[in-house]
Amino acid sequence: MALLPILHYPDPRLRKIAKPVTRFDERLRALVDNMAQTMYDANGVGLAATQVDVHERVIVIDTSDTRDQLQVFVNPRILGASPVRRLSEEGCLSVPGVYDEVERPESVTVEAEDERGRTFRLEAEQLLAVCIQHEMDHLTGKVFVEYLSQLKQTRIRSRMRKLDRDIA
Ligand code: NI
């Protein structure tokens, strides 16, 4: 397993559209393992392949307190969403240190394949529902800060540029 570098907003590679996975092979399983390790190492609850510059529809999530309930979503699709929307605070490993409220449907029904190609369906609510929607946005090139006001986005971009300068 290996830790993968995480792209930071506003890196233009975060805007790429991920392609569906067609081969459920060892390469995919290695990607999933590396993404999981990268997510746990960074103390995140979710990571999309886009964030590690792999433009395929793969997401890993673990919303458990014990950090041992990995959920893998390959080619995820939303089958239904609650008409009730709820504000909740989000953060993102690609935008470190930034947290803000985003409004989304409070529950979603999602279907996906696991890393072996087995299809499953689940009803997600609360943090898991937020997380699935947040990570699926990454697969279509969207970062959560794009839901915020233009003023906030401008501030976040300059803050991130300074952070990346300080790291470099
Ligand atoms: Ni994110």
Token output for 1 = 């397993």
Q: How many angstroms is it from 118 CA to the middle of ligand 1? A: 25
- Mind listing the pLDDT tens digit for each residue in 92-123? 999 999 999 999 999 999 999 999 999 999 99
Poorest-pLDDT segment among 123-127, 139-143, 162-166: 162-166
Q: What total number of domains does the chain contain? A: 1
CA 12, CA 40: separation in Å to the nearest integer? 25
DSSP 19: B
Residue 123 lies in a domain: yes
Q: Counting every residue, how long is the chain?
A: 168
- Strand pairing category for 107-113 and 100-105: unpaired
Return the CATH number at 111: 3.90.45.10
Question: Considering the domain boundaries, does residue 4 fall inside one?
Answer: no
Catalytic residue among 106, 115, 135, 146: 135
Would you say residue 88 lies in a domain? yes
The answer to the question of residue 121 being in a domain is yes
Range of the domain at 148: 12-167
Ligand 1 centre from 131 Cα, in Å?
8
How far does the centroid of ligand 1 lie from the alpha carbon of residue 134, in Å? 6
Active site residue 135: yes
Q: Has residue 6 been placed in a domain?
A: no
Element (H, E) at 44: none
